Amino acid sequence: MPRKSSLPTVTQGIFQTPNNREIELEADWDDWQHWLKDAESFRYCPMSSEPAYTVRKEQGTRGQGSYWYGYRKQSGNLVKCYVGLDEGLSIENLELVAKQLTEKLKRKVTKSVSVTNSLVTDIGAVTKDDEIEKLQKENKKLHRQVKQLQRQLQIALGKPVA
């Protein structure tokens, strides 16, 4: 079940304004554009089966206008996708962004699982094979040191070295 948002929301192509006025995005395009001029963010619930996402206005680089970006968070993974200028916030474009966010999350989660599996495999290999080899080398080194110390002790005691 989708979570309840405190943000103004677009559902089924209809925007519910904070003062409970409805704006149909396609039929009331001018009203929608007027609301967007002063808005900072809203929630978009796609008509498709894609999950809802937050749309935020951000200042462009070097003071050039404002741009809208879509954000979705899932299992601690946050993805961001460019939506466009005010004029680009059509139902068609918002639906497309919903799909793009889903794809980005899939890639991010797949990459994360792949890296985690790789690390687990590498750690397992180091723990098993490399550790045994390291211990065997250390064991040989200690045996050589013991023999050397035994010879030095025999020399110090004046006993013949074998």
- The residue ranges of every structural domain in the chain are 9-115
Q: Which run of H or E residues covers position 150?
A: helix 131-157
Q: Give ∠ CA 87-92-97 in degrees, rounded to 5.
A: 90
CA distance 67 to 27: 23
- Predicted model pTM: 0.64
- Name the pLDDT band for 91 (thresholds 50, 70, 90): very high
Report pLDDT digits (tens) over 101-144. Answer: 999 988 877 766 655 555 555 555 555 567 777 778 888 888 88
CA distances from 94 to 40, 49, 102, 111, 144 (A): 16, 13, 13, 26, 73
pLDDT for residue 90 is more than 90: yes
Q: For residue 43, what are the β-bridge partners?
A: 9, 54
